[in-house]
Amino acid sequence: MQPFSKLLTHMAPFFQLCRIMRPDDANIVGNVHGGTILKMIEEAGCIIGTRHCNTRSGDRCVAALARVERTDFLYPMFIGEVAHVSAEISYTSKHSVEVQVTVLSENILTGAKKVTNKATLWYVPFSLQNVDKITEVPPIEYSNPEQEELGKKRYEAQKLERMETKERNGEVIAAVSVPERHTKEPYTVGFSQSSLIHLIGPSDCTLHGFVHGGVTMKLMDEVAGIVAARHCKTNIVTASVDAINFHRKIKKGCVITVSGRMTFTSNKSMEIEVFVDADPLVEAEKGKYRAVTAFFTYISLDKENKSLPVPPLKLEGEEEQKRFEEGKARYLQSKAKRLAEKEQNQ
Catalytic residue annotation = 27, 221
Q: Which amino acid is at 313?
A: L
3-state secondary structure string across the chain = CCCHHHHECCCCCEEEEEEECCHHHECCCCEECHHHHHHHHHHHHHHHHHHHHCCCCCCCEEEEEEEECCEEECCCCECCCEEEEEEEEEEECCCCEEEEEEEEEECCCCCCEEEEEEEEEEEEEEECCCCCCECCCCCCCECCHHHHHHHHHHHHHHHHHHHHHHHHCCCCCCCCCHHHHCCCCCCEHHHHCEEEEEECCHHHECCCCEECHHHHHHHHHHHHHHHHHHHHCCEEEEEEECCEEECCCCECCEEEEEEEEEEEECCCCEEEEEEEEEEECCCHHHCCEEEEEEEEEEEEECCCCCEECCCCCECCCHHHHHHHHHHHHHHHHHHHHHHHHHHHHC
Terminal Cα distance for the chain, rounded: 12
Q: Which amino acid is at 283?
A: E
